[in-house]
Amino acid sequence: MGFELSREGLDRVLTELGESYLLYAPVLKVGEGRFTDTDVVRYDYVSSVEQIELAHKSDYAFKELLTPLSETLFFFTENECKVADAEARKVIVFLRACDLHAVKRLDQMYLANGPQEDWFYRRVRDRVAFALIGCPESFDNCFCCSMDTNVAPEGWLFSLEQTDDGYRCVVADEQLTEVFAAQAVGEAAFEPAHVSANDTVVRVPESVPVAIYQHSMWDEYTARCIKCGRCTISCPTCTCYTMQDVFYTDNGCVGERRRVGASCMIDGYTNVAGGGQYRRTACERIRFKVLHKVHDFRKRFGYDMCVGCGRCDDICPEYISFAACVNKLADAVDALAAQEVSADE
C-alpha cells in the first residue's frame, strides 16, 4: 500500500521506528569533501527525514555499516581474548535499488563463499533491515539498467521518495502498515519509482577469452591511475579487507585485532611473504578489478558483481571511467573474436 506523507508526518513515523531501530541513511556532510568548502554524501545515523540526503547519490556506499572501514574484532591479553562488543539495536538502512542488489553480493561473499560464514558479518547482518529510496531519475554515471539492477529486489520494509509537497512511501512490511497509515495524508496504489534508462550504457561481454589478459587495452591505465583506491572504497560491492594485529605500545602483551578495508587498487595488495607481488602496475590492478566485477565473479556465482551505481566513476580523481573501460573490454573481446574467425577462414 502506498502512502503520502507530510514532512512532519514522516518524521513522526521515523520517531516511532526509532524506538525499535537505528536509522542509517545518506547524509550531506557539509565541508567534509576532499576540497575546501566542498561537501560529501556518506552514510550516518539520522533521526529525521530532513537529515536524509535524497536529492543526490551518496559518494560512499551503505556497506560501511556491514563491513566497517575499521572494526576491532577482538581484544587479546596473554592467553585470553574477548570479542569486541557490538551494537545490539536493529538498524534500518536507507538505500537505492542498485544498493539493495549489492547486499546480495556482500552476503554472497561473506556468508556463502566457502564452507564458513563470516561470524562478524553475520552478527551485524542479522540486525539490518532495509528501506528503499526510490529513484525517479537517473543520476550522472548511473548504469543500473545495463546491469539489470534498476528495479529493487524484494527485501525492503518500505520505500521513500520525495514529491513536490511531501513524501511517498510504499509499505511492503505489513507490520508497519499501521504506523504509516496513522500519519498519512493520503493513500494510493503505486510502486516505488525506478529508472528505466540511463545516459550511460554499458555493454558487458558474455565471455572473455584468456587473450584479453595480455591485451594492450589495459596499458594506458598504468600512466593514468594513481592507485588511490577510491573506486573500490566507494563501491557497494567491493568486499576486500586486511587485518591489523595491534600490540598496545605501553604493554606489548595486550592488543587487538582489527579488520580494515583493503583495495586491490592500492599498492601493497597482493604483496606476499618473500617480497613477491602478483600485480605491480596500475594496469594490472585495473584489469583485475574490472574483470572481477563483470566476469570472474559471474564465473563463480552466476551473476555480475557490479550493480552499475557509477560511484567509481563519480569519485575517480583521474577521470578514469569504469563504464568506459567495460565498453572498451566488450569492443576488444569482439575484435579478438573477429580475428579468430578471419584466421579460421
Partner 1 sequence: MTLDVNVKALMKNAFRQSKVRGETASRVRVPGGVINAQSMARVVEIAEEFGNGTIFLTNRQGMEIPGIPLEKVPEVNERLQAIIDDSGVNQEERGKGYPAAGTRNVVGCPGSRLCPFGCYDTTALARRMDKAVFPNNRHVKIAFTGCSNDCAHVALNDFGIIGMTEPQYDPARCIGCEQCVNWCKRRSVGALSVVNGKIVRDEDLCIGCGVCVNYCPTRAWTRSPEHYFRLKIMGRTGKQNPRLAEDWLKWVDEDSIIKIAQNTYAYIDEYIDPGAPGGKEHIGYIVDRTGFDEFVKWALDGVELGPKCERASRVYWGGKRYDRSNELF
42 binds partner 1 (CB under 8 A): yes
Q: Which cell numbers in the block locate residue 319?
A: 577521470
Q: Which is nearer to partner 1, 47 or 70 (CB)?
A: 70
What is the rounded distance in angstroms from the CA atom of residue 97 to the CA atom of residue 9? Answer: 24
Q: Which is nearer to partner 1, 3 or 43 (CB)?
A: 43
Q: Which is nearer to partner 1, 53 or 304 (CB)?
A: 53
55 binds partner 1 (CB under 8 A): no
What is the rounded distance in angstroms from the CA atom of residue 224 to the CA atom of residue 265? Answer: 13
DSSP E strand boundaries for the chain: 2-5, 21-29, 40-46, 70-76, 81-83, 90-96, 128-133, 158-163, 166-170, 186-188, 241-247, 255-261
230 binds partner 1 (CB under 8 A): yes
Using alpha carbons only, how large is the chain's radius of gyration in Å?
A: 22
CB 41 within 8 A of CB 27: yes
228 binds partner 1 (CB under 8 A): yes
List the one residue from 19, 35, 89, 126 that touches partner 1 (CB under 8 A).
35
91 binds partner 1 (CB under 8 A): no
CA distance readout (Å), 20 to 12, 17, 100, 248, 343: 14, 6, 21, 37, 66
Residues 266-295, one symbol each (x = binds partner 1 by CB under 8 A, - = not), give x-x---------------------------
Q: Which is nearer to partner 1, 42 or 194 (CB)?
A: 42
Q: Which is nearer to partner 1, 169 or 282 (CB)?
A: 282
- Contact residues for 223 (Cβ-Cβ < 8 A; gap 6+): 282
The candidate with the shortest Cα–Cα distance to 240, out of 259, 257, 213, is 259
Q: Provide, rounded to whole angstroms, the least separation between the CB of residue 61 and partner 1.
A: 12
36 binds partner 1 (CB under 8 A): yes
Q: Which is nearer to partner 1, 243 or 324 (CB)?
A: 243
Q: Provide, rounded to whole angstroms, the least separation between the CB of residue 331 and partner 1.
A: 30
What is the rounded distance in angstroms from the CA atom of residue 87 to the CA atom of residue 76? Answer: 20
CB 151 within 8 A of CB 167: no
319 binds partner 1 (CB under 8 A): no
Q: Which residue has the cell 570479542?
A: 83
Q: Tell which positions 240-259 bind partner 1, by CB under 8 A.
A: 244, 246-249, 258
List the one residue from 1, 18, 44, 68 that touches partner 1 (CB under 8 A).
68
Q: Which residues bind partner 1 (CB under 8 A)?
A: 29, 31-32, 34-37, 40, 42, 60, 68-70, 228-230, 233, 244, 246-249, 258, 260-263, 266, 268
